[in-house]
Amino acid sequence: MTDLIHPVLLCGGSGTRLWPLSRKSFPKQFVQLVGEESLFQSTARRLSAPGFAAPALVTASDFRFIVLEQLAAVEIGAAEVLIEPTVKNTAPAVCAAALSLHDRAPGALMLVVPSDHVIPDATHFRETIPAALPAARDGQIVTFGVRPDRAETGYGWLALSRAPDPDFSATPQKLKSFVEKPDPATAEALLAGGMHLWNSGIFLFSTTTILAAFQTHAPEVLALTRAALQDAQPDLGFTRLAPDPWEDLTNISIDYAVMEQAQNMTVVPYDGAWSDLGDWQAVWRNEAADGAGVVTMGPSVPLDCTDTLLHATHARQELVGIGLDNIIAVAMPDAVLVAHKDRAQDVKEAVAQMKARGTPQAETLPRDYRPWGWYESLIVGPKFQVKRITVHPGAALSLQSHKRRAEHWVVVEGRAQVTIDTEVTIVEENQSVYIPIGARHRLENPAETPLTLIEVQTGDYFGEDDIHRYEDLYARGLGRKP
Amino acid sequence: MTDLIHPVLLCGGSGTRLWPLSRKSFPKQFVQLVGEESLFQSTARRLSAPGFAAPALVTASDFRFIVLEQLAAVEIGAAEVLIEPTVKNTAPAVCAAALSLHDRAPGALMLVVPSDHVIPDATHFRETIPAALPAARDGQIVTFGVRPDRAETGYGWLALSRAPDPDFSATPQKLKSFVEKPDPATAEALLAGGMHLWNSGIFLFSTTTILAAFQTHAPEVLALTRAALQDAQPDLGFTRLAPDPWEDLTNISIDYAVMEQAQNMTVVPYDGAWSDLGDWQAVWRNEAADGAGVVTMGPSVPLDCTDTLLHATHARQELVGIGLDNIIAVAMPDAVLVAHKDRAQDVKEAVAQMKARGTPQAETLPRDYRPWGWYESLIVGPKFQVKRITVHPGAALSLQSHKRRAEHWVVVEGRAQVTIDTEVTIVEENQSVYIPIGARHRLENPAETPLTLIEVQTGDYFGEDDIHRYEDLYARGLGRKP
């Protein structure tokens, strides 16, 4: 193939059905759910190969440093990171990516991929794409349809205009129509008929084709998105779409806004494994079960269980299941889920209830990601708190002070540059420094390796709102936080 | 009543059926399983009233400081703490307590009580005891029989010689016989017949009576225990029974050794609530369930559950149950149990399996109790470890050194006296001190309030065997540990 393919990774979503592993502050696509990499990292690596340009990302502001950090860990650079001011579903995200790519490379081919799916055979997936290129070059919107192996009610389906080839090769054909998530009887019929595939949500088209489709089928999405891109602000390498026009956008999926109305739709069958890991039942199904249908992940011990998932996420937390049938158990140090497997969809409702009650675990993890790195609270007592803090190479926290706590910093990995009032010192590994109450101080990592320190706070109040900021590299509000 | 009653609390056991809450290093009786106090504390308070002497305790060496600490917290002093070299079941424990009490107060009345049972109405229980006094004074071994309200197969039963009074008053009568834990059909028959009570394991007798019974029915237990007591070593206020004769004792219960053979057995009915909390099903039954049979303890969220126990032990760990029926879920930061309620007895087997695999959570908690206080590891990285350490007023750690780690101590509560090589300094709250690799050091709490410090260790190895001890107040092995 001669055309460079420009991957666009959609990674702004924050589903709750995989709670407690997936949280609003650190959703599913960034979690090491399968294997050693996050789903987002696997997606980026799947499309990092000859013939593919560097990926563009569309994400939320809260995730902008997570995506860069995770890409850096797999040694992939992003061509562009578009920041959505708020979540507006996939149509505005795809439109913004198309407009931006069209500016840089008019008429280029773009491959839109969700970043939270599992496609175990990356090579096979990449080898399927060339079959879609002629149609995409020819003005078609190409969607990839997955060969179904069960009557799944949790996916949308694609109706074919003719039966797939007997060997299920990636022969393009005209897409007849989209089918909404079916009821069980309909799903059985779709599977038995052999004329339907699962809708993977993966698309290939040229920027010219998709922008014309937006112009025809969703002109207001195109106009508002174009305005948001025109007024976008560059920020530390990110492109922040302008909130003003963006907020007027309807929350609408690319399927509804464009695909279901377009006439130039082509489908390419894909016969490899694929899962959207949409809920815990899907995770259970995706993993290799033993003869009794039991899947264990992490340090977990099943005793006489059947058709059960035991998922312990932390090496120092043991999960034991006894006599369980069709149970999902997910253990984390700050939250545990135990659900009947048939009720996997209701995790969403439980999270909504916790959120309504103000339970922090509903949306956040102990580890809190910030522009400069991350921290986690290890223990909070009435008169002290201990945090672990990691600062990226070259990064710096804001110049700040606290009214109600002093801080002891012990550098345990790397090297810190510490400003206290007017004095700047270097604190080496295995050295410590003391920040009195009220002192203006700043923590920086001047080195090329991560800095880890243990912060022991002493005082009588440890809330994040006892931070008075004087200077901040990351354009966060100065003065008293939040 | 004129006779002082001497409570003897048996608190050396370490059952595993309430894992993960109950561990070998910190078993059930010391856990806050019901209400604000541990079962042991509730037991001690139940018998702390006019007419009762200070309690004697029989426990294991590992628990000797836990029992004192927990008694101090409820402001009860122990008359004596007997330390069993190894666990030998209840017969040797009762025999040792009887011999020791007989030395101090010949012929005194002793009330033997397990320390891990629930008796919610302490007043009613105490008011039942006078009914047993005449028989006990008269040379009877009095056992208390609990009015059964279900066909329980997990308890032993007591056969009466005549029906209880219609109002179930505490009228003593001759005990006909002991009945082993019955099968379900037998249990139904025992319940329906109205001539059987549950065996509570609580006994009242004089030291003269029980020592005569040992002499008659278990003379070798009496002889070996007497020898172990004669050679006992006093140790910081504890009485350490001599291991040499003690190790020759058979592991045998007081029921088997004496009660089931004695002819002078009297039973006093008790019509209040009682539970041995023998497994998680018993805990579920003991708590007030909602209309659907759901019991929640701690921060737990049930959604459409029935006949289920959700027990979250820590304020910062949320437990969510969805669509569960007859499930026990117990969440702790380092271990989670999910079991079908009918399989509650198999927790023991799961713990045995974990122990066989060397999983530390099988027997120990993150919090490790020592003579001088306790510590817990908050985090372990490749190059650092952070511990929280609490030192009792007046207590001191051994003089020690480490070959492979330096330590930073930040005092967050109280005041520390720190010896480093030849220098002794006082470290106040919100001050820190540094212990270089290889330095001989000692931590002491010179104050009258507990000392809490955060220890940040840096180095390349953090095992407990990198402690070289030079001096130790607590008679632990000097030189290299374990």
B40: left (phi over 0), alpha (psi -120 to 50) or beta: alpha
Q: Tell me the DSSP string of B92-153.
A: HHHHHHHHHHHHHSTT-EEEEEESS-B-S-HHHHHHHGGGGHHHHHTT-EEEEEEPP-S--S
Distance from C-alpha of B408 to C-alpha of A44, rounded to nearest angstrom: 42
Distance from C-alpha of A480 to C-alpha of B357, rounded to nearest angstrom: 52
Mean pLDDT in residue range A190-208: 97
Tokens describing residue B238: 């504890």
CA–CA distances in Å: residue B445 to residues A3, B393, B398, B468: 74, 6, 12, 21
In the numeric block, the tokens 């074919």 are attached to A160
**Encoded amino acid at B2, one letter:** T
Residue that terminates a domain, selected from B251, B270, B289: B270
Give the bridge partners for B418, in sequence order.
Answer: B425, B443
In this structure, are B330 and B235 located in the same domain?
no
CB contact under 8 A, B359 and A318: yes
Confidence of residue A33 (pLDDT cuts 50, 70, 90): confident
**Encoded amino acid at A404, one letter:** R
Query: Using one digit for the tens of pLDDT, what is the confidence trace for B97-135?
Result: 999 999 999 999 999 999 999 999 999 999 999 999 999
CB contact under 8 A, A303 and B327: no
Distance from C-alpha of A340 to C-alpha of A326, rounded to nearest angstrom: 6
Give the bridge partners for B435, in sequence order.
Answer: B407
CB contact under 8 A, B346 and A413: no
CA–CA distances in Å: residue B215 to residues A129, A274, B209, B211, B218: 90, 76, 10, 6, 6
Residues from chain B that touch A346, judged by Cβ atoms under 8 A, are: 303-304, 322-323
Mean pLDDT in residue range A319-329: 98
In this structure, are A151 and A223 located in the same domain?
yes
Query: Using one digit for the tens of pLDDT, what is the confidence trace for B33-46?
Result: 888 899 999 999 99
pLDDT of B482 > 50? The answer is no
* Selection from A181, A3, A32 nearest residue A107 by Cα: A3
Q: What CATH number did the domain enclosing A107 receive?
A: 3.90.550.10
For residue A68, tell me if it sits in a domain: yes
Tell how strand B309-312 and strand B327-332 pair up. parallel
Residues from chain B that touch A340, judged by Cβ atoms under 8 A, are: 322-325
Distance (Å) from the C-alpha of residue A76 to the closest C-alpha of chain B?
A: 27
Cis upstream peptide for A20 (omega within 30°): yes
In this structure, are B207 and B68 located in the same domain?
yes
A334: nearest CB among B316, B386, B458: B316
Residues from chain A that touch B310, judged by Cβ atoms under 8 A, are: 338
CB count in 10 Å sphere of residue B239: 17
Q: What is residue A480's predicted lDDT score, i.e. its pLDDT?
A: 40
Distance from C-alpha of A386 to C-alpha of A377, rounded to nearest angstrom: 6
Q: What percentage of chain A exceeds 70 in pLDDT?
A: 98
Confidence of residue A324 (pLDDT cuts 50, 70, 90): very high
* Selection from A255, A276, A271 nearest residue A131 by Cα: A271
Distance from C-alpha of A417 to C-alpha of A421, rounded to nearest angstrom: 13
Give the bridge partners for B399, in sequence order.
Answer: B471
Query: Using one digit for the tens of pLDDT, what is the confidence trace for B266-315?
Result: 999 999 999 999 999 999 999 988 999 999 999 999 999 999 999 999 98
Q: How many structural domains comprise chain B?
A: 3
Q: What is residue A472's predicted lDDT score, i.e. its pLDDT?
A: 74
Q: Are the C-beta atoms of A174 and A266 separated by less than 8 Å?
A: yes
For residue A361, tell me if it sits in a domain: no
Q: Are the C-beta atoms of B237 and B81 separated by less than 8 Å?
A: yes
Q: Is A471 exposed, middle or buried (0-12, 13-18, 19+ CB in 10 A)?
A: exposed
Least confident of A46-60, A292-306, B347-361, B365-379: B365-379
Tokens describing residue B372: 């001088």
CB contact under 8 A, A338 and B322: yes
CB contact under 8 A, B334 and A350: no
A294: left (phi over 0), alpha (psi -120 to 50) or beta: beta
Torsion of CA A208, A212, A213, A218, to 10 degrees: 130
For residue B275, tell me if it sits in a domain: no
Residues from chain B that touch A379, judged by Cβ atoms under 8 A, are: 378, 388
Give the bridge partners for A432, in sequence order.
Answer: A410
Distance from C-alpha of B111 to C-alpha of B107, rounded to nearest angstrom: 13
Q: Are the C-beta atoms of A398 and A473 separated by less than 8 Å?
A: yes
For residue A275, tell me if it sits in a domain: no
Give the SS3 label for residue A351. helix
For residue A234, tell me if it sits in a domain: yes
Tally the C-alpha atoms within 13 A of residue A226's C-alpha that lie toward its C-beta.
Answer: 11
For residue B438, tell me if it sits in a domain: yes
In this structure, are B116 and B215 located in the same domain?
yes
Using CA coordinates, name the residue in chain A closest to B316. Answer: A334
Residues from chain A that touch B327, judged by Cβ atoms under 8 A, are: 324, 327, 338
Using CA coordinates, name the residue in chain A closest to B366. Answer: A316
Q: Are the C-beta atoms of B277 and B290 separated by less than 8 Å?
A: no
Residues from chain B that touch A301, judged by Cβ atoms under 8 A, are: 350, 353-354
Which residue in B281, B336, B408, B449 has the most chain A C-beta atoms within 10 A of its own C-beta, making it the best mutation to test that interface?
B336
For residue B362, tell me if it sits in a domain: no
A323: nearest CB among B336, B340, B458: B340
B340: nearest CB among A318, A324, A335: A324
In this structure, are A191 and A293 located in the same domain?
no
Residues from chain B that touch A367, judged by Cβ atoms under 8 A, are: none
Cα B199 versus chain centre, distance: 20
CB contact under 8 A, B454 and A361: no
Query: Using one digit for the tens of pLDDT, what is the confidence trace for B210-241?
Result: 999 999 999 999 999 999 999 999 987 899 99
CB contact under 8 A, A456 and B323: no
In this structure, are B419 and B300 located in the same domain?
no
Mean pLDDT in residue range A192-196: 96
Distance (Å) from the C-alpha of residue B408 to the closest C-alpha of chain A?
A: 8
Residues from chain B that touch A303, judged by Cβ atoms under 8 A, are: 346, 349-350, 353
Query: Using one digit for the tens of pLDDT, what is the confidence trace for A253-305?
Result: 999 999 999 999 999 999 999 999 999 999 999 998 899 999 999 999 999 99
B323: nearest CB among A318, A342, A361: A342
Distance from C-alpha of A114 to C-alpha of A149, rounded to nearest angstrom: 21
In this structure, are A82 and A21 located in the same domain?
yes
Using CA coordinates, name the residue in chain B closest to A343. Answer: B323
Least confident of A436-450, B176-190, B237-251, B359-373: B359-373
DSSP-derived secondary structure letter, B312: E
CB contact under 8 A, B339 and A324: yes
**Encoded amino acid at B440, one letter:** R
Residue that terminates a domain, selected from A211, A244, A270: A270
Q: Are the C-beta atoms of B303 and A349 separated by less than 8 Å?
A: yes
Q: Which domain holds residue B62?
A: 5-270
- Give alpha helix (H) positions in A236-295: 243-247, 254, 280-286
Residues from chain B that touch A347, judged by Cβ atoms under 8 A, are: 320, 322
A454: nearest CB among B321, B353, B456: B456
B322: nearest CB among A303, A322, A339: A339
In this structure, are A56 and A84 located in the same domain?
yes
CB contact under 8 A, B335 and A329: no
Confidence of residue B481 (pLDDT cuts 50, 70, 90): very low
For residue A202, tell me if it sits in a domain: yes
In the numeric block, the tokens 């009258």 are attached to B448
In this structure, are B81 and B109 located in the same domain?
yes
Distance from C-alpha of B97 to C-alpha of A5, rounded to nearest angstrom: 83
Residue that terminates a domain, selected from A219, A239, A270: A270
In this structure, are B112 and B21 located in the same domain?
yes
* Selection from A177, A151, A207 nearest residue A267 by Cα: A177
Q: How many CB pairs under 8 A join A and B?
A: 190
Q: What is residue B52's predicted lDDT score, i.e. its pLDDT?
A: 97
B335: nearest CB among A303, A318, A383: A318
A346: nearest CB among B322, B333, B339: B322
Dihedral over Cα of A380, A384, A388, A390: its sign:
positive
Q: What is residue A471's predicted lDDT score, i.e. its pLDDT?
A: 79
- Give alpha helix (H) positions in A138-203: 184-193
Q: What is residue A165's predicted lDDT score, i.e. its pLDDT?
A: 93
* Selection from A299, A342, A292, A295 nearest residue A318 by Cα: A299
Q: What CATH number did the domain enclosing B467 receive?
A: 2.60.120.10
A388: nearest CB among B316, B350, B379: B379
In this structure, are A24 and A124 located in the same domain?
yes
In the numeric block, the tokens 């990110």 are attached to A238
In this structure, are B211 and B127 located in the same domain?
yes
Cis upstream peptide for B20 (omega within 30°): yes
pLDDT of A1 > 70? The answer is no
Distance (Å) from the C-alpha of residue B318 to the closest C-alpha of chain A?
A: 5
Tally the C-alpha atoms within 13 A of residue A361's C-alpha that lie toward its C-beta.
Answer: 22
CB contact under 8 A, A322 and B346: yes
Tokens describing residue A206: 């040229």
Q: Are the C-beta atoms of A413 and B383 separated by less than 8 Å?
A: yes
Distance from C-alpha of B294 to C-alpha of B309, rounded to nearest angstrom: 6
CB contact under 8 A, B336 and A350: no
Q: Are the C-beta atoms of B250 and B76 separated by less than 8 Å?
A: no
- Give alpha helix (H) positions in B162-258: 184-193, 207-217, 219-230, 243-246, 254
